[in-house]
Structure 1
Amino acid sequence: MRHRQNRRNPHILAWTLAAAALQAAAPPTTTPAPSKCPRLSGGWYGDNRAHLQEVIDARGTCAGGTGHGRHPVAAFDWDNTITKNDVTDATISWALRHDKILRPARWKATSAWLTDAADQALTTACGTAVPVGAPLPTATNTPCTDEIFEIRDTGRTMSGAAAFAGTWNHRRTVPQYAWVPQLFAGHTVPELSSYARQARAEALAAPVGSTRVLGTHTIPAYVRYYAQQRDLVRTLHRAGFDVYIVSAGSEPVTEVWSRGVGIDAAHTIAIRSVLDRSGRITTLNQGCGGVPANRGAVIPYIDGKRCWINQEIYGVRGAAAWQRQEARHRTAIAGGDADTDVTFVGDATGAHLVVNRNKNELMCRAYDDADGRWVINPMFIEPLPRKQGLYPCSTSARTAPDGTLGPLRRPDGSIVPDLADTVY
């Protein structure tokens, strides 16, 4: 049985009851005019659609507001937030099945953290017969495809050895995510965009629930835009919001998909590769928050998503971009599905939309609902079953910059208790 979470804390509930009592004692008034703002449609869980509509009505330019002198902003993660399944994986799958990965001079040069074990596994599996810079025959070389995809998917080699090691800020990057655009080094942006378009057509044509075999891995074959999220983006645009995508995927790939919901390249933020003089992708990516171009140390990941939003949308430069900004320099609505989204989703001032994929830190924040503005929705297609047991909020929900796990704390320092999964 599904249970609706109580999204209001006791103080808000008491205020609401008191206001209701005063209203009951007051003389009758005329019914307020209907909102001029566009209306959300589609099936949402519980009162989620109404809650989001309240924010649209209050913040949209359609209601006469200007969002503190500018259009209000909404920002969303992409993979498994706007779409069901991962468009980066769909693109990698297509590229591997069509021999689009170019052989690097040394695999270790593709990432600052790639281990000797991963370098050896990739060199052994993919061979050295192909000239440097030429396409690897991954369509027929199953071991090579397996090693590349396993490292991307799990951060380990097919033998189980760690593929990445060293020191990085675990709230600013994860090497296997940063490795994806690095895998496409040597290609131009138009080439990568072309691969993404072909992968998109293939994934949208595949039946819901279908899988394919990639090497020896079984992976989803299909991707779908969530109808409710597409409608939400459309409604936000009509209500006067500037809507952005903020993804930890490769930007040319994300741009191909974001156009499908009416979001252009200027409003799509993802990992931005540095190009060489001939316009080809390198293993460097652009920096944020005072960090210069780097080999994957700063990407739109956990706190990195806040940094990129602050820098690219609100013009906050330097170290200040890593900090939560005042309300007028924060989004009105933000949405995500994973721990990589927890910081920027929590920064929203009107609604924190969460698609439940049972991710500890994000779901602990959502179920704790400290400000009464968290909106939790099951996945719109093939939702996950209820998580068994409690989320470990009080012990190991939060990832520290050094990668260790610890308790999740509220802004006042108190620890969030372990919480049950009730929206599924």
Structure 2
Amino acid sequence: MRQLLAWTLAAAAVLAAAPAARPAAPVDGRAACPRLTTTWYGDNRAHLQQAIDQRGTCAGRPGRPRPVAVFDWDNTVVKNDVTDATLSWALRHDRLLRPARWTDISAWLTDAADRALTRACGPGAPGTPLPTSADAPCADEILQIRENATTMSGAAAFAGSWNHRRTVPQYAWVPQLFTGRTPADLAAYADAARREALAAPVGTTRRVGTHTLPAYVRYYDQQRDLVRTLRRAGFDVYIVSAGSEPITEVWSRGVGLDAAHTIAIRSVLDAHGRITPRTEGCGGVPATRGAVIPYIDGKRCFVNQEIYGVHGPAAWQRLPWRQRPAIAAGDADTDVAFVADATAVHLVINRNKPELMCRAYDDADGHWLVNPMFLEPLPRRGTAYPCATTAYTAPDGTAGPVLRDDGSVVPDQRDTVY
């Protein structure tokens, strides 16, 4: 029953303890901190409000730097993936351009994937639109590689060596598919996809090729309220996403954040301002075909580099306390490094991702908050997370135990918030 009764009673207790309409009283003449107004699981709202009261400029710390809050985007601030929604729209409107060779796009694309894409998408002049709206096999191969890193026949789509805590080829592949378009083109596609996805009823799906994809996206009311409240309390709020930056920028405006506060995969442009397969690097790593993106340790690097101005190898490391976000939020293992770096609240939206949930349920510092997805939450995981054995992914891709900062092993954890 997803603990529905317990959730309802707990939420009611929190609301009773912190009425939405009652402003906080000024303390020693200082401005009152703004209040969160939406319902959260358990006492999560009370913990978030406490962090706002303690860290916001409303708490009266003249001359000190503004505190920082950093959010992942897809399935953290919104339900569903906005880059996938844009790719779906682009496939249905023939907006992808044919490459000269598919292997020109990704450094890791296999010969099997190259053959599958060439066969499915047919011949044609480079730079002309792929007929994906009518050519179901072409759309299918593209989506299968994006979703599963395999071809429709089951062959591996990517092979070779990459740092599994800095990138994942099928994430980098999506902006690479828009090679030849401009960021303005991609933003226009994202805007059209956004209007379509917000208008679609919650829970609806659509068929693209033979794939069934979510047809809707929704901003989470709780996260919109949290971002708005944080900004009013004096926080600098940022998005850090493993999606494409022009797409994420279109969506982040819906919570009041501008391009300067939106960090995602940044494509290198050619001399004519068109997207290339190369992506900007971080931490002293130059631009490559996707070797570094905002993914696991890559997210930490981009937060440290773009928000705190730390460049070179130091950007890959956990920074001192004053150079870390006060609040960080995510939903997947790709978020675990920067969420763990937060000093006041590590907010986790439960999507059953093992390393993140191991750290959240272990709650080593007492500041981890777990919340079910606000729409269509997942059922309880039937078995414990394998924290002590295989929940951690090493840079070489091998699985191992999740370790605390002191080197001790996190024991297996049961799923309790769903």
SS at match of 1:391: coil
Which of residues 70, 79, 88 is equivalent to 1:75?
A: 70
Which of residues 97, 102, 105 is equivalent to 1:110?
A: 105
SS at match of 1:162: coil
Gaps of 5+ in 2: 8-25
CA RMSD between the two structures: 1.5
Give distance in 2, aligned partners of 1:41 and 1:379: 18
Residue in structure 2 matched with residue 230 of structure 1 by the alignment: 224
- Render the CA deviation track for 1:328-361: whole Å, top value 9, x for unaligned: 0000000000000000000000000000000000
Give distance in 1, aligned partners of 2:35 and 2:155: 51
Give distance in 2, aligned partners of 1:150 and 1:200: 22
Give distance in 1, aligned partners of 2:80 and 2:281: 27
Q: In 1, are the aligned partners of 2:31 and 2:60 still within 8 Å (CA)? A: no
Residue in structure 1 matched with residue 163 of structure 2 by the alignment: 169
Q: In 1, are the aligned partners of 2:387 and 2:413 still within 8 Å (CA)? A: yes
Q: In 2, are the aligned partners of 1:138 and 1:144 still within 8 Å (CA)? A: yes
Give distance in 2, aligned partners of 1:261 and 1:413: 39
Which of residues 380, 385, 389 is equivalent to 2:374?
A: 380
Residue in structure 1 matched with residue 13 of structure 2 by the alignment: none
Q: Matches of residues 78-157 of structure 1 in structure 2 within 5 Å?
A: 78-128=73-123, 130-157=124-151
Q: In 1, are the aligned partners of 2:68 and 2:327 still within 8 Å (CA)? A: yes
Q: In 2, are the aligned partners of 1:35 and 1:57 still within 8 Å (CA)? A: no
Residue 384 of structure 2 aligns with an amino acid whose one-letter code is: L
Residue 305 of structure 1 aligns with an amino acid whose one-letter code is: K
Deviation at residue 32 of structure 1 after TM alignment: 6.8
Residue in structure 2 matched with residue 320 of structure 1 by the alignment: 314
- Render the CA deviation track for 1:228-257: whole Å, top value 9, x for unaligned: 000000000000000000000000000000
Residue 48 of structure 1 aligns with an amino acid whose one-letter code is: N
Number of residue pairs the alignment of both structures matches? 397
Residue in structure 2 matched with residue 45 of structure 1 by the alignment: 41
Deviation at residue 93 of structure 1 after TM alignment: 0.2
Which of residues 36, 42, 50 is equivalent to 1:54?
A: 50
Give distance in 2, aligned partners of 1:44 and 1:53: 11
Q: In 2, are the aligned partners of 1:58 and 1:65 still within 8 Å (CA)? A: no
Residue 84 of structure 1 aligns with an amino acid whose one-letter code is: K
Q: In 1, are the aligned partners of 2:83 and 2:243 still within 8 Å (CA)? A: yes
Deviation at residue 299 of structure 1 after TM alignment: 0.2
Deviation at residue 65 of structure 1 after TM alignment: 2.4
Query: Does 2:357 align with 1:356?
Result: no
Give distance in 2, aligned partners of 1:419 and 1:194: 44
Give distance in 1, aligned partners of 2:261 and 2:89: 26
Q: In 2, are the aligned partners of 1:2 and 1:422 still within 8 Å (CA)? A: no
Which of residues 175, 181, 192 is equivalent to 1:187?
A: 181
SS at match of 2:40: coil
Gaps of 5+ in 1: 6-30
Residue in structure 1 matched with residue 23 of structure 2 by the alignment: none
Moved >2 Å (runs of 4+): 1-5, 31-35
Deviation at residue 35 of structure 1 after TM alignment: 7.3
Q: In 1, are the aligned partners of 2:283 and 2:313 still within 8 Å (CA)? A: yes
SS at match of 1:419: coil
Q: In 2, are the aligned partners of 1:152 and 1:180 still within 8 Å (CA)? A: yes
| TM norm structure 1 | 0.92
SS at match of 1:157: coil
Residue 41 of structure 1 aligns with an amino acid whose one-letter code is: T
Give distance in 1, aligned partners of 2:410 and 2:118: 46
Q: In 1, are the aligned partners of 2:328 and 2:346 still within 8 Å (CA)? A: yes
Q: In 1, are the aligned partners of 2:52 and 2:233 still within 8 Å (CA)? A: yes
Which of residues 263, 266, 269 is equivalent to 1:269?
A: 263
Residue 86 of structure 2 aligns with an amino acid whose one-letter code is: T
Give distance in 1, aligned partners of 2:3 and 2:400: 29
- Render the CA deviation track for 1:109-166: whole Å, top value 9, x for unaligned: 11000000000000000011x2110101100000000000110111110001000000
Residue 61 of structure 1 aligns with an amino acid whose one-letter code is: T
Give distance in 2, aligned partners of 1:93 and 1:82: 20
Residue in structure 1 matched with residue 299 of structure 2 by the alignment: 305
Residue in structure 1 matched with residue 16 of structure 2 by the alignment: none
SS at match of 2:264: strand
Which of residues 180, 191, 195 is equivalent to 1:197?
A: 191
Residue in structure 2 matched with residue 23 of structure 1 by the alignment: none
Give distance in 1, aligned partners of 2:149 and 2:176: 15
Residue in structure 1 matched with residue 3 of structure 2 by the alignment: 2
Query: Does 2:383 align with 1:392?
Result: no
